[in-house]
Amino acid sequence: MPSTSDSTAPLEASDAEQTLSDSLEDSPNGVTLSRRQLLGAGGAAVGLGGLGGYVLGARPFRASGCDRSPISVEDDEWSFPNYDRRHTSTAPARAAPDSLDERWHLEWDVFQYGTPVVANDRIFLAVENDRGSSLRALDIVTGSELWRKRFQEVHEAHPAVAAGDSVYYHTNTDERGRTALALAMGDGRERWAYSLENLHAYPPLLVLTDGMALVDDPAIGDEQTEVMAVDTRSGEQCWQTSLDTNALNPTPAVAGGRAYYTARRHLAGDDDENESGALFALDTETGTVAWETAIPRNVDGPPVVGDDIAYLSVFNGPLVAVSRHTGDEIWRHEQTELFGRGEAGTEYAHPSYELGALTPDALVTRLEAYSEASDRLRAFDPKTGELLWERVAEGTDAWFTSPTAAGTDAFVAENRDDDSGRLVRLDARTGVVEETVSFDSWAHHSPIFADGSAVFVTGTGMRVFGP
C-alpha cells in the first residue's frame, strides 16, 4: 500500500505578474493500483464513466463489512466543478468578495481550460496549449504557481475535484488510456492511478459520494452498465448493481444518501418523438433503485438537486422539476419560442436550457440559441416554476456562460463577437445588475468563489478578485 502522506513543500513558485512558464518538471509518479486497491490510498474516490440510457431494472448485490469514512470539504470552498455534489453552483455569500476589485492576474496562451476548483487556499486548473495539457496549482492569495502535473501528449483539459488532501483528475493518455489520478494537494505527487487501457472515451468528472465511491463500467455488455460502490478508505466493495441500460450518464448528483442519475430510453422506432429521458434515484447504502421517472425527449446532462426538488433540462425541450424523494413531477416549463430567422426542424434547432445556479430564491438558467440570436438568462421560482425575469445578452450572436452564485447574487460572463465581454453580478431573484467588469477575449465559465475571493478564467488568463 503506497504512502498517503502529503508534503506541503512547493515544487516551484512563479511571480503573479509573469506569464506562466513551461519550465517546471512533472511530479514523480507513484504506483498504479488494481481496481480493488484504487480507492485504498488516502481516502480517494473516483467515478469512471458509463455511457447514457434508460434503467429497466437493477439487481443489487450487497457485501458485508463495509466501513465508510466520508471525505470532508469546507462549505466556503469550491471543491467541485459545480460547487457541491448536488451541482447547485451556489456558494455561501461569505465565499465571494463584496466587490470585484482585482487582486492579481496572470496571462497565458491556451487553447482550452477546465473548470477551476479551490481548496486549502489553492486554485487547481487544467489547461491545454500547443505543448499538451497540464494540471496546475496556484496560490489564491499571490497567484504564484506551486506545482504542475504535465501530460505532454494529451490535448484536452477537464475539470478537477479537490477534496480532503487530494486532487482528483481524469484524462486520456497515450501510454495508459483513460486514466483517473489522485494527486497530493500539497505538491502534486501522484498517489495512485487507475487506467482503462482499452477505453479511449471522453473522461467524465470524478465522482465522490458520502463515504463511498460509485464506479460505473459499461464493459459488461451492450445493454448493461455495472455500478459498484467501494469504501473510500479501504477500497472494499460495499455493493454491486447491474442496470439494464447502455447509456448511463456517469455524473450523478448526490444528496441524502441517494445518487441521482440521468439516462436515455430509446423506444421503438427511429423518430425523435419516440425518445424520452429518465431520472432515477439509486440508494447509495444498498444499491437498489429507490424510484425512477420518465420525462419527454432527451435529458441533457446531470440534474441539479435542492432540498426537496431535483431539476432537469431536456435537449430542445422543457425544464422539469420533480420530487427528489418520489420522482413525482412538481412543475414544468415548456420552451416553445424559436430564436433567429430559421424555422423549427429546418435551419435552426429549438433553443435549449442549461441548468445554472440554484439559490434559495431562484433557479438561474441559460437559454442557448442555435442561431444568430443572442443567449438568454432566465430565472425561475424554484418551488413553483414561475418565470421571474429574463435577460438577453447584449450584441449580435452574444452568449452567456452558465451562471454561478454566492448567496443571493448570481454571476455570469457575457461574451460578444468582437472578443469584448463583461462579467456581470446581479440579484438572482430580480435580475437587477449590481456590478460589471470588462474583460477581453472569451470565457467558457462563470467565476467561482472561495474564502472571500472570486476566480475568473478567460482564454487569455486568470483574474482573481478580492481584498
Beta-strand pair 237-243/253-255: unpaired
**Do residues 393 and 402 touch, judged by C-beta distance below 8 A?**
no
Count other C-beta atoms under 10 Å from residue 257's C-beta: 15
The verdict on residue 390 lying in a domain is: yes
Backbone φ, ψ for residue 130 (5° rounding): -70, -5
Chain segment 332-349, per-residue pLDDT in tens: 998 777 665 544 443 455
Q: What is the pTM of this model?
A: 0.81
The verdict on residue 70 lying in a domain is: no
Q: Which of 255, 241, 194 is nearest to 48 (CA)?
A: 194
DSSP letter for each residue of 349-394: PPPEEEEEEE-SS-EEEEEE-SSSSPPEEEEE-TTT--EEEEEEPS
Which residues neighbour 310 within 8 Å (Cβ) at sequence distance 6 or greater? 253, 260, 279, 303, 304, 321, 322, 323, 324
User: In the chain, how many domains are there?
Assistant: 1
Task: Output 168-171 pairs: Cβ under 8 A, ≥24 positions apart.
Answer: 168/44, 168/45, 168/46, 168/206, 168/208, 169/126, 169/135, 169/206, 170/46, 170/48, 170/203, 170/204, 170/205, 170/206, 171/126, 171/133, 171/203
CA quadruple 108, 113, 117, 122: dihedral, nearest 10: -30
Residue type, 88: T
Residue type, 40: G
pLDDT, one tens digit for every residue, the chain (467 residues): 222 333 333 333 333 333 333 332 333 223 233 322 333 333 333 333 332 333 334 445 555 556 666 777 899 999 999 999 999 999 999 999 999 999 999 998 878 888 999 999 999 999 888 778 899 999 999 999 999 998 877 778 888 999 888 898 888 777 777 777 888 999 999 887 766 555 545 556 667 777 676 766 655 456 677 777 766 555 567 888 877 666 777 788 999 889 998 887 644 445 555 566 778 888 988 889 888 888 766 788 889 999 999 999 988 788 999 999 988 999 999 877 766 554 444 345 568 899 999 999 999 999 987 667 788 999 999 999 999 999 999 877 789 999 999 999 999 999 987 778 999 999 999 999 999 999 988 898 999 999 999 999 998 899 999 99
Task: Tell how far CA 322 is from the center of its chain.
Answer: 21
Task: Tell how far CA 168 is from the center of its chain.
Answer: 13
The verdict on residue 71 lying in a domain is: no
- The Cα 453–Cα 373 span in angstroms is 33
Determine the structural domain holding residue 427 and report its residue range.
358-467
The verdict on residue 427 lying in a domain is: yes
**Do residues 283 and 241 touch, judged by C-beta distance below 8 A?**
no
Segment holding 102, helix H or strand E: strand 102-107
Residue whose cell numbers read 488532501: 165
The verdict on residue 293 lying in a domain is: no
Q: Which of 363, 354, 380 is nearest to 445 (CA)?
A: 354
The verdict on residue 29 lying in a domain is: no
The verdict on residue 364 lying in a domain is: yes
Beta-strand pair 404-406/90-91: parallel
Number of C-alpha atoms within 13 angstroms, CB side, residue 328? 4
**Do residues 135 and 160 touch, judged by C-beta distance below 8 A?**
yes
CATH number reported for the structural domain that contains residue 387 in this entry: 2.40.128.630
The verdict on residue 434 lying in a domain is: yes
